[in-house]
Amino acid sequence: MSAIDVSTGSQGMAHTCIHWFRKGLRLHDNPALMAALRDCKELYPVFILDPYLHNNTCVGINRWRFLVGALIDLDCSLRKLNSRLFVVRGKPEEVFPKLFDKWKVTKLTYEYDTEPYSLSRDKTVTTLAKEHGVEVIYKISHTLYDIDRIIEENNGKAPLTYNRMRAIVKTLGPPKRPIPAPIMEDTKDVKTPCSENSEEMKKYGIPTLEELGQDTAALGQEQFPGGEQEALRRLDEHMQRTGWVCGFEKPQTSPNSLSPSTTVLSPYVTFGCLSARTFWWRLTDVYQGKKHSDPPVSLHGQLLWREFFYTASVGIPNFDKMEGNPVCTQVDWDTNPDYLASWREARTGFPFIDAVMTQLRQEGWIHHLARHAVACFLTRGDMWISWEEGQKVFEELLLDGDWALNAGNWQWLSASAFFHQFFRVYSPVAFGKKTDKNGDYIKKYLPLLKKFPAQYIYEPWKAPRSIQQAAGCIVGQDYPHPIVQHEVISKKNIQRMKLAYAKRADLAESPNKSPSKKQGVKRKAPSVIDMMKKKDRKK
Please tell me whether residues 118 and 267 are part of one structural domain. no
Please tell me whether residues 25 and 89 are part of one structural domain. yes
Any binding-site annotation on 402? yes
Going by C-alpha positions, the residue among 503, 528, 505 that lies closest to residue 516 is 503
Q: Give me the sheet containing 4-5, strands edge to edge.
A: 4-5, 135-139, 107-111, 15-21, 40-49, 86-89
**202 within some domain:** no
**427 within some domain:** yes
Among residues 84, 113, 142, which one ends one of the domains?
Answer: 142
Any binding-site annotation on 262? yes
Strands 135-139, 15-21: parallel, antiparallel or unpaired by DSSP? unpaired
Please tell me whether residues 93 and 110 are part of one structural domain. yes
Please tell me whether residues 272 and 418 are part of one structural domain. no
Which helix or strand (DSSP H or E) is residue 303 part of? Answer: helix 299-315
Any binding-site annotation on 302? yes
Among residues 127, 142, 157, which one ends one of the domains?
Answer: 142
Among residues 92, 109, 142, which one ends one of the domains?
Answer: 142
How many angstroms separate the Cα of 437 from the Cα of each of 351, 443, 449, 461, 485? 13, 12, 14, 17, 22
**266 within some domain:** yes
Task: Report the predicted TM-score, pTM, of the whole model to 2 decimal places.
Answer: 0.91
**363 within some domain:** yes
Q: Which pLDDT value is given to residue 507?
A: 81
Please tell me whether residues 364 and 236 are part of one structural domain. no
**201 within some domain:** no
**216 within some domain:** no
Going by C-alpha positions, the residue among 434, 416, 326 that lies closest to residue 376 is 416
Any binding-site annotation on 119? no
Any binding-site annotation on 400? yes
Any binding-site annotation on 309? yes
Please tell me whether residues 16 and 136 are part of one structural domain. yes
Q: Quick check: bond before 255 cis, omega within 30?
A: no
**215 within some domain:** no
Please tell me whether residues 35 and 78 are part of one structural domain. yes
Any binding-site annotation on 264? yes
Please tell me whether residues 364 and 476 are part of one structural domain. yes
SS3 at position 48: strand
**C-beta of residue 16 within 8 angstroms of C-beta of residue 54:** no
CATH of the domain at 421: 1.10.579.10
Give me the residues of the chain with pLDDT under 50, please.
1-3, 5-10, 514-539
Going by C-alpha positions, the residue among 58, 312, 33, 313 that lies closest to residue 179 is 33
Any binding-site annotation on 411? no
Count of CA atoms in the C-beta half-sphere (13 A) of 452: 30
Q: Which pLDDT value is given to residue 1?
A: 47
**203 within some domain:** no
Give CA–CA dist 170/172, Å, rounded. 5
Any binding-site annotation on 103? no
Any binding-site annotation on 307? yes
3-state helix, strand, coil in the chain (%, to 5): 45, 5, 45
Give CA–CA dist 310/306, Å, rounded. 6
Please tell me whether residues 295 and 404 are part of one structural domain. no
Please tell me whether residues 42 and 178 are part of one structural domain. no
Please tell me whether residues 381 and 519 are part of one structural domain. yes
392-414 tens-digit pLDDT: 999 999 999 999 999 999 999 99
State which residues form the domain around 264.
146-183+227-315
Please tell me whether residues 344 and 462 are part of one structural domain. yes
Domain count, the chain: 3
User: What residues contact residue 53 under an 8 Å CB cut-off, 6+ apart?
Assistant: 59
**C-beta of residue 354 within 8 angstroms of C-beta of residue 256:** no
Any binding-site annotation on 308? yes
Alpha carbon 396 to its chain's center: 11
Torsion on CA atoms 200, 205, 209, 212, rounded to nearest 10 = 40
CATH of the domain at 39: 3.40.50.620
CATH of the domain at 161: 1.25.40.80
